[in-house]
Structure 1
């Protein structure tokens, strides 16, 4: 079977990381024999390690055109540099010498940081796909075992085997990244494979694991480029002129449009367990989103409404009556369980006939409520969330 480009890339990253780990260990060994003070030593083992270090460093590939250039001081050079700094008698000179001695460790850490970030970028889409697949596996299993109470029965379904396979994919994709807190619990419950274990996976293990992985997917700590160095100088220039309120929807892809909607429902209070849905039959191959909308009534208690959001990045087309009918029909893909709220989010608009149809539907005795999120509605939502506007380059 022909190897996939992703699997080939993972093998290359694994080989590079193997050499990086060797380099990190070798430096720790070399660092341990460097004396604390002024000393003049001949150590053949240290000299041999220096040559091995250079070979390992040469094997590391560049990352975006960069890799560290490291000069290793001999033990006698270290002793002489420290002695020279002491004779000068200035603390700055001594600090400079110690920084030079520790420079290899600093550069190795910088390469490790860059390597880890680049690997996360490589596996991001595949991780998201595996998460989506596990969500789908668990939905299928929850439907199959709905109402079952024999928690000690074995779970013998194809979907459970698929679940194990997709979890194994995530394990491979994470590589040397730390595992989420409930990762061990998830594997233990997968191993035993009883109905009670499946219930724990659905209610506890997977929501925790998924949330942890998602937080690392899109680099929440990575900065957004800013065009100036000093905000004070920007304010001092007293800029004036008209304010653009419209967002640049044409600058984003359909996938980014879905990500924006997902970011909205993931960060908002009152929304739980956001998920991407798979296997949609939509002609534009867009993915639907699922989320629980939570209403806390002080008298009646907590109500959770299953909400399906269909994302339509339509710039030159308005959502029409026929589109509404087709989108309503697609809701059957996601039942059971029952869908309570159907949201149609679009970067375009709704025709007047479509608006009238939705209003008439919502006044009927149908158990399904339809909500329209046109461009104007989304712009109002995003206006109070400028960080999302900046992250997706909408302004």
Structure 2
């Protein structure tokens, strides 16, 4: 049996019958932030919508679009904006320069290849920091770095980070395809970078989304052991639908920076979605990120419009169906207590709850919808109205619109 209201379960979360004051009601089985030291840690979002997000096939964002998104990310309160790839094009460099000149609170970084000329270009744009992208797995090195040896890789990595440091830049080293690296060499590399003092942060990259959460935990733990003084960032792709789970695993294991994108945009199947990770931290883990959560819906819709990549209606947090309800049994509970079908209030992320009428609706939904639209119909006429709703919904294979409901009510009154 559950503990009485106000008592604490063995998992550290209070059980409740009354709605929580903060508008969030997670599972009491969740261990909470104390399990990973979250109460004493500062987690930071390094959003890369403008870089890895734009790398999604078919997306093109111009300078104005990137600047608009950067301003919205700044309003959201992210710590850092990865504004693009410095070697991409003149247009991209102009966009980066415009973002730098906008005077945002967020730090502005850019992606550089393992080339000193990329670093020099970045410095000329006035960015805060560079992300040195240098592939570490054997398959990447064989086909992108001409099979460079471990010794040569290490020497070049140290040279590149020293060069960036000499330019006065913050340095994030990104050995991409980290999750397919040879473990012993990865440990050797991070230890050398830690000793060198030329790196501010190491980004752990699940380039092909091929790692399980347990693997991410293992990798972060190994790096922590080899380089205890090195700040870590986690960047996960979503090829198996695990990007958010893997990111959370990285955070629990010791990564203090999250690399993510709005709407989960990114190469192939995308990246961890900023909104998913943040709300999982806020609701499921009980960590307070300090971000303006109520802006998520607005920025998601704007990124959707500017990227021309539709947000699935059932997308977590920002999808149109995230707080929509149709099934009669669900609606009957939601109208009495929304937490019967929701774990946090929609207003927290700028959403709103909506009841739809359709094939699966019941009489409670009919009465609610009529009241919501200011329509009047005798209660004894509700069953027949519901039957008509179900016929239309089944025929059209969708919910009934408000205008269609109004027309049905008028027909019922005229009958």
**TM-score of the two chains, using structure 1 as the length reference:** 0.25
**TM-score of the two chains, using structure 2 as the length reference:** 0.24
Q: Could you say which structure has the larger radius of gyration?
A: 1
> Is the helix fraction higher in 1 or 2?
1
With CA pairs under 8 Å and 6+ residues apart, which has the higher RCO, 1 or 2?
2
